[in-house]
Amino acid sequence: MSDHCGPADDARRGGLAVDAPLMALVGSPNSGKTTLFNALTGLRAKTGNYPGVTVTRYTGVADTDAGPVVLEDLPGTYSLSAISPDEQIVSATLDRDDAASATPQALLVTLDATTLARSLRLVAQVLRRGLPVCVVLTFSDELDRRQGRLDVGALERALGVPVVAVVGGRRQQLTRLRTLMGAPGEWSRPVVPPPADTEGVSAWIDSVLTATGYSSPELDTRTRRLDAVLLHPVWGTLVFLATMFAFFQTIFALAAPAQAGIEAVFGWLGDQVRARIGVDWLAGFLADGLIGGVGGVIVFLPQIALLFVLISLLEGVGYLARAAFLMDRVMARAGLEGRAFVALLSSFACAIPGIMATRTLPSTRDRIATMMGAPLMTCSARLPVYVLIIGLLVDSDARVGPVGAQGLIMFGLYLGGAVSAMLTAWLFSRIGRSAGPAMPFYMEMPPYRIPSVRSVALAVWDACRGFLAKVTKIILGTTIVLWLLLNLPAPSDATLRAAGIDPTDDVAVSTYTIDHSLAADVGRAVEPVFAPLGFDWRINVGVLASLSAREVFVATLGQVAAATDPEDPAGALAEMTVQDGDRAGEPLFTPPVLAALLVFFLYALQCTSTIAVLRRESGSWRWPAIAFGYLFGLAWVMALLARTIVAAVT
């Protein structure tokens, strides 16, 4: 995990000489800071962690006239009087006496030209820290458009530091900034720093605004008009629901063709390997283990990329703040806030982007609570499992009134997942109440803006890269281990004949191999745990295998069923009978058992990728461990409940 602090480590990661200078970007949220960071560092940015806290660290390499520098994009903050962990990072980084964090050599402070009256408050605090400062004035084009006025030269004199106006990170305008960044030692400093007390700062700002001839911009009529609709009690809610619906449709429908394509490619690859490689076990290992494993992860990519494109666009435009505003009251009932809604929403395709989206929550308590709830949202990995089990449970043409039974059950599972997620988040929010004071809720409503294409592209790239890199290692590893467990020990011909099996009968050989594999041993060993739920060792193997990723359950059961009847695995599944015990001879997949299985998959945390991301985003192993344990226990109890109820009803 890349969670070491210090410019030396950063420099090494950036491939630079160890003594590359460190600069930091400071500014309030919505001030164009991240757009500037992306414009200065481009693809050379990395995501990491501040040790021990749930705050993500963005560093990158920027070119200046004097060579490359390491640029750190500090979390956006309204004040250096910190009340949340990410603000504490900013305050500590800017504190020259704080030995734990590397103090930058110089600061770039983004200042939103349209909100000077408020934004200068942070500038005043930063100037008092005594580090070299260069102010980057953003949105000056918007100031002009809205009939505002500002004398930039006068602002330079009044602040006592260099001021560079930059619009949307345009390449040409960055030239002067890069020149300045090459020589921070030459930057002018304020001869007397601004005062520290609130009233003094207000007086200081007043004087500066007068001296610069600042004329504040007119109301942004475009934003006012859009908000009159988008935040209207009736129309706004309708537009919001429509947006959510379109969101889901897009993620599932639009991503499907790309996913099918990827599956086809990997399937073809697997076939090629099996055809070309003569050594059976090697072919199996490569095709099913490696290629199947990697393919199983990459098939997620279109959904994740699409999800991030949509979310980045909505955020860049400014609509996500409106969505959080509309949903805040509902979320408050669960002890959370509006921004948590956006994070949970993202979890509907995959919990990983949802967990990453908790970065927007200022309160650690909210972040953790939302992270604990996110895995319960019905993610796309559960779909193949649900489809398989529902298919065994009811016929496709079964109806409940006018509605199809299968669709109804699916909807019920989605609803159950969402409600459980909210309840879990509420529970952890309550538990965490003692951990820290309640955070005040405030959220700026920025004007609607056209997002920078580069920022959207970089956000998507960063998310996809992070997903692939961190997660593939784990998925690949576990898939290989599981493959080994299912196929070892490989029985010799002698062993097979002794058991009465013809070594040339592939089906019989695979069945025997699986029945006597290490995985089967494990499956039988945990039977006491799962017996009350009605699972036999084969289901156990499937459940244990799917701890790495839920879709593995389908593949595992498929392997077992195909071993029995390669022509009709589905039929084989339906006809499976219990092998031993007091239910011997009865069908394995009865409605109560199927219900238990469905509910188990609804609750259990069966995704090592999610665990990996929980580890990264929460900064320690504690929370993934708690999530896994808590959700496993909950899954077991609820599955037992489901089995009991369905058995009583049918």
Contact footprint for other proteins (CB under 8 A): 78-79, 81, 83, 114-118, 121-122, 157-158, 160, 188, 190-196, 198-200, 202-211, 214-217, 227, 231, 233-234, 236-237, 321, 325-326, 328-330, 332, 338, 437, 440-446
Q: How far is the CB of 208 from other proteins (least distance, A)?
A: 5
* Choice between 114 and 452, CB closer to other proteins: 114
3-state DSSP assignment of residue 369: helix
* Choice between 234 and 253, CB closer to other proteins: 234
Q: How far is the CB of 140 from other proteins (least distance, A)?
A: 14
Residue 397 Cα to chain centre, angstroms: 37
| Best CA proximity match to 595, nearest among 532, 640, 548, 541 | 640
The C-alpha atoms of residue 645 and residue 500 are separated, in whole angstroms, by 43
* Choice between 146 and 615, CB closer to other proteins: 146
Q: List the 67-73 sheet strands across, edge first.
A: 45-49, 56-64, 67-73, 22-27, 106-112, 133-138, 163-165
Q: How far is the CB of 145 from other proteins (least distance, A)?
A: 15
Q: How far is the CB of 200 from other proteins (least distance, A)?
A: 6
Q: H/E element holding 60?
A: strand 56-64
| Best CA proximity match to 206, nearest among 219, 218, 216 | 216
* Choice between 114 and 608, CB closer to other proteins: 114
* Choice between 232 and 473, CB closer to other proteins: 232
* Choice between 215 and 272, CB closer to other proteins: 215
Q: β-pairing, 22-27 with 67-73?
A: parallel
3-state DSSP assignment of residue 389: helix
Q: How far is the CB of 111 from other proteins (least distance, A)?
A: 13
Q: How far is the CB of 121 from other proteins (least distance, A)?
A: 6
The C-alpha atoms of residue 555 and residue 541 are separated, in whole angstroms, by 11
| Best CA proximity match to 308, nearest among 251, 242, 359 | 251
* Choice between 141 and 527, CB closer to other proteins: 141
Q: How far is the CB of 245 from other proteins (least distance, A)?
A: 18
* Choice between 284 and 446, CB closer to other proteins: 446
Q: How far is the CB of 202 from other proteins (least distance, A)?
A: 5
Residue 608 Cα to chain centre, angstroms: 14
DSSP sequence for 462-525: HHHHHHHHHHHHHHHHHHHHHHHHHH-SPPPHHHHHHTT--TT-HHHHHHHHHHTSHHHHHHHH
